[in-house]
Structure 1
């Protein structure tokens, strides 16, 4: 398979985890309300763990390898500030799509980085693709619930929107593959920018939704999500 086709296919599959998460949320019904709450919080925590593993194991290590410490720190902080600004803006306009915007705003820079990783022969490219899929699944799940609860969009329309969003990943990956592979410092900046935004999102949106009073299982979702990323790194570096 030509490498460009591999980039497009891999990124598309990672993006399709978003509508898959929405479909799971659409049909997810439990007889026990207690178990339903537990399950939803664990899915959210799993997404947080996967996001954290993407930052700690791939994005930050790859980013700091090609930038001076001061610039690396600056890009990470800028990413966090930009995501904070987006969060404030979405809150002011009172949109029901904050989870949707957050999902898209980290999917695009990660896809650019993924395309560049394939172009440079980075052996972590498939790991990054897997981590993107792992985080998109629970993000799609949570974003669907948020949009559906607002009663602004019909169920079918939400899933169609998610499918269209998945197509943006290959576009971003091709840009990274064709035009940014020879610019490792730009790719490093993109990775660290995404890392700052993801870290902001974890502690602003994901972590506060995980805790349930007198329930201790949901936070283990974060542990499982991180362990999967760690296992992937260990398998690819042996």
Structure 2
């Protein structure tokens, strides 16, 4: 199988985890109490672990290797700030699609990075595809519940929309493979920027102990703490 076709298969497969998560949430009416109390929190926590592993195992190591320490710190902080701004905007607009925005905000940059990783060689692309699929499943689950609760769209319409969004993965992956691979600094910036944003989303939307309604400081504190450790690690090496 050629590399570009493998990218299409991997990114589309990872994207299909979004409607799969939505379908899983769709069966809530079969066991509402159990799903609400046990399965929902387990799936969300699993997604948080996958997101953190994407940051620690792929995005930061691969992205920082292409950037200076100063650039890494700046793009990481900018990612956290940008996702905080998006979070506040969605809250201000009272949008029922905050989880949807979060899902696409990390899926597209990671698909870009996956395509570029294949163009550069190495095994990071396959690992990243697996992590994207793992995190898209709980994010699709959570986004469906959020949008379905708002009663703005029929459940079938939401699932079909998630299915259509899965095809954004191959588009982004091929763009990274054929275009961004020639600009390694841009790939590194996208990876590190996405890492900062994903860390913010993890503590704002996934880690229940850190989240406070109408407060955006705690997740940014997590971004700042991770950034401090990151700078120290880069200085040591």
> Normalised by the size of structure 2, how large is the TM-score?
0.86
Distance 1:136 1:32 in 2: 22
Does the CA contact (< 8 Å) of 2:108 and 2:168 recur in 1?
A: yes
After superposition, the Cα gap between the structure-2 partners of 1:31 and 1:137, relative to the gap in structure 1 and judged at 3 Å, is: closer
Distance 1:104 1:209 in 2: 24
Does the CA contact (< 8 Å) of 1:44 and 1:210 recur in 2?
A: no
Alignment of 1:39-188 (within 5 A): 39-188=39-188
Distance 1:82 1:155 in 2: 30
Counterpart secondary structure, 1:153: coil
Deviation at 1:32, TM superposition (A): 6.9
Distance 1:104 1:123 in 2: 24
Aligned residues: 211
After superposition, the Cα gap between the structure-2 partners of 1:116 and 1:31, relative to the gap in structure 1 and judged at 3 Å, is: closer
Distance 1:162 1:32 in 2: 23
**CA displacement, residues 173-205 of structure 1 (integer Å, 9 cap, x when unaligned):** 111000111211110000000000000000111
Distance 1:209 1:145 in 2: 21
Does the CA contact (< 8 Å) of 2:96 and 2:146 recur in 1?
A: yes
Aligned to 1:2: 2
Distance 2:12 2:127 in 1: 15
Alignment of 1:196-215 (within 5 A): 196-208=196-208
**Larger RCO of the pair (alpha carbons < 8 Å, separation 6+):** 1
